[in-house]
Structure 1
Amino acid sequence: MASTKEILNRINSIQDTMKITRAMYMMSSMKLRKAKEKLAETEPFFIGTQKGLAENLAHFPDFRHIYFDNRIEDDHETIKRRGFVVFTGDKGMAGAYNHNAIKMALERISGMTKDEYKLFVVGETGRVFFTNNGYNVDENFKFSSNNPTMHRARIMSEYLIDLYNREELDRIDIIYTKMLNSVTEETCVERLLPLKTHKFILEQAKEIEADTEGKSKAAVEMKEGVKHVHSINSYELEAIQKGGDSWFPFYPSLKTVLEKLVHNHFTAFMYGALVECSASEENARMMAMQAATDNAEAILRELSIEYNRVRQAQITQEITEVIGGAKALKKKKRR
């Protein structure tokens, strides 16, 4: 049985640790609030870029460019080298946040050779793991996941798009963590390049159908899958019948406008992922610190009971020794 001094040392040590976990919980809660505010500010820009792409692709579904994939299925997709952008944290003590992102990345590259993929890791935790374990990591792509900014997202985006334009990558996927609510997080994989044209057109069709209460024939056909693509004429005809204007000139060209929209969409997605991951990491750290504090309190209660039990045993032993000594003295005096 441990002595009272040993138990007191453990109690003091746990109390010191609790001060740290409570402080980290408070810091994470403040960072989470700021991250949520940034996320709310980001959404209009991200939705705007998506809507701009969807509207233009709906009018020009047959437009061909390396940024767009017009196929419905990926069955015949030939990819020589795929890039994975993996978002992790710079620090640990965030529950399963980093583990889940790393696990998802490992599942995606499973069965691939080093020549068939390249990892672009955001955050020191993931970068150290993949580098130390011999995975194909881009050494020039070194970015922090803390304090996300649009400037950093744009630098990251331009670097990746440049590799894609130079055909060093055939496809770019992003692996990040989405915070569904205060207790649930989900690790997601999204395709950034090339963009699936039919997905944007489908979203636009749903929006048109909702706005027109189902009166748009082209939108209904796209949503139901009767037609996967439409020429501009079908949209112009509907717009003319409604007295609207569905076509407008592009300057300097349609290609340039769509390329710019893709760049903005890519940057918006990267910034959104940075902010989303920042919020998810702080939320995971809050839950981890709360769990650590709760566990510490439970251990303290057990140690307190153990301390009282040991102290009681010591007092009982001391009383027994005093009584025994007193009896021995009485016997000695009688003799």
Structure 2
Amino acid sequence: MGASLNEIKQRINSTKKTSQITKAMQMVSASKLTKSETHAEQFQIYAEKVREIVTHITRTQLTKIAKSSNPDELDFNSMLISRPVKKTGYIVITSDGGLVGGYNSSILKQMMNMLERDHESASEYVMIAIGGTGADFFKARGINIAYELHHLSDQPSFEEVRKIVNLTTSMYQNEVFDELYVCYNHHINSLTSQFRFEKMLPITRLDPEEATEYEQEYIFEPSKEAILNQLLPQYAESLIYGAIVDAKTAEHAAGMTAMKTATDNAINIIDDLTISYNRARQGAITQEITEIVGGAAALE
């Protein structure tokens, strides 16, 4: 019985140490989540302003595209025109490591279902992976990765992702693929995230009716077309960057939730082990008393 008591006591002590670690990791993830939510809110202000400007400048073109029976024949920026899809580009955003619950598995499961449903062979799509978990997952299944990015900071700056967002917009303009989707978990709140499958290119989510009317119209120099050639790639890049910021926020929330669950489970285990320890100890004491009483009775 003594050995059993020692074993239970060791398990209680080791579980307490584990709960202290998971509690600390929960607090770290909570701090990261708060900073990431602030970062995302600040970026959203910028993104909305850029969208407002782009919608205003492209209003005329968007209206003509909507009314045209053959938009691909219009001499507009290629980022506004849908073309026949020969190959699709995917940016899949996952974490670099584990300890984030089902964050990665939900994304990768959805992605595999879509690839199997929408494509007959790997030649029909181009895969770009942000995060080591997704890159390793696809490589293990024989899916080629055109480009991969690892070890983003907790609040990634645009400079960190500039290369990959520039690359993807250039690949679209050079017709390496004909449409681009970003696949990631969208942050809703600290307990909930939702898989998102967003079309980034061509830019089709602009509504000309949302265009802001100004008392003074812009003066374009050198020309509206030249400005759009610079502005539209930047707008597309901001959409991709926004998805990365959103995904990183969801990752921190998933990490915090996973560590909280682990801490709660450890506490439950400690409670159960403590009950078992007390019962075993009570049994040992009862047995010792019985042996003493039995011995005393034998001497009478």
TM-score class, shorter? 0.7 to 0.9
Query: What is the distance in 1 between the residues matched to 2:8 and 2:280?
Result: 9
RMSD of equivalent CA atoms = 2.1
**Aligned pair 1:25/2:31, yes or no?**
no
Structure 1 equivalent of residue 49 of structure 2: 48
Structure 1 equivalent of residue 67 of structure 2: none
Gaps of 5+ in 1: 71-76, 212-238, 331-335
Structure 1 equivalent of residue 151 of structure 2: 144
Query: What is the distance in 2 between the residues matched to 1:114 and 1:320?
Result: 75
**Aligned pair 1:65/2:35, yes or no?**
no
Q: TM-score, normalised by structure 1?
A: 0.79
The 8 Å contact of residues 87 and 124 in structure 2, kept in 1 or not, is answered as yes
The 8 Å contact of residues 90 and 125 in structure 1, kept in 2 or not, is answered as yes
Question: What do the CA deviations read for 1:166-222 (whole angstroms, capped 9, x no partner)?
Answer: 2211111101222112222111111111111xx312xx41465xx8xxxxxxxxxxx
Structure 2 equivalent of residue 93 of structure 1: 99
**Aligned pair 1:190/2:194, yes or no?**
no
Deviation of the 1:6 alpha carbon: 1.4
Query: What is the distance in 2 between the residues matched to 1:274 and 1:12?
Result: 40
Query: What is the distance in 2 between the residues matched to 1:24 and 1:295?
Result: 15
The 8 Å contact of residues 90 and 146 in structure 1, kept in 2 or not, is answered as no
Deviation of the 1:13 alpha carbon: 1.4
Deviation of the 1:319 alpha carbon: 1.1
Deviates more, 1:261-270 or 1:184-193: 261-270
How many correspondences in the alignment?
285
Q: TM-score, normalised by structure 2?
A: 0.88
Query: What is the distance in 2 between the residues matched to 1:94 and 1:289?
Result: 8
Q: From the CA coordinates, give the structure whose radius of gyration is larger.
A: 1
Deviation of the 1:141 alpha carbon: 2.6
Instruction: Label 1:255 to 1:107 Cα distance change in 2 as closer, same or farther (>3 A).
Output: farther
Aligned with 2:160: secondary structure? helix
Matches within 5 A, 1:113-262: 113-138=121-146, 140-147=147-154, 148-196=156-204, 199-201=205-207, 204-206=208-210, 244-246=215-217, 248-262=218-232
Aligned with 1:60: secondary structure? helix
Query: What is the distance in 2 between the residues matched to 1:261 and 1:33?
Result: 31
Deviation of the 1:20 alpha carbon: 0.9
Aligned with 2:183: secondary structure? strand
Matches within 5 A, 1:316-331: 316-330=286-300
Structure 2 equivalent of residue 8 of structure 1: 9
Gaps of 5+ in 2: 65-74
Aligned with 1:173: secondary structure? strand
The 8 Å contact of residues 186 and 250 in structure 2, kept in 1 or not, is answered as yes
Q: Calculate percent identity across the aligned residue pairs.
A: 31
Aligned with 2:199: secondary structure? strand
Deviation of the 1:245 alpha carbon: 4.8
Query: What is the distance in 1 between the residues matched to 2:211 and 2:175?
Result: 34
The 8 Å contact of residues 100 and 255 in structure 2, kept in 1 or not, is answered as yes
**Aligned pair 1:286/2:272, yes or no?**
no
Aligned with 2:189: secondary structure? coil
Question: What do the CA deviations read for 1:83-127 (whole angstroms, capped 9, x no partner)?
Answer: 100110111111111112212221221142110112111111111
Deviation of the 1:157 alpha carbon: 1.2
The 8 Å contact of residues 153 and 267 in structure 1, kept in 2 or not, is answered as no
**Aligned pair 1:275/2:245, yes or no?**
yes
Deviation of the 1:300 alpha carbon: 1.1
The 8 Å contact of residues 128 and 148 in structure 2, kept in 1 or not, is answered as yes
Q: Which amino acid aligns with 2:159?
A: H
The 8 Å contact of residues 145 and 274 in structure 1, kept in 2 or not, is answered as no
Question: What do the CA deviations read for 1:28-57 (whole angstroms, capped 9, x no partner)?
Answer: 111111111211221122112211221122
Aligned with 2:200: secondary structure? strand
Query: What is the distance in 1 between the residues matched to 2:227 and 2:159?
Result: 21
Instruction: Label 1:30 to 1:292 Cα distance change in 2 as closer, same or farther (>3 A).
Output: same
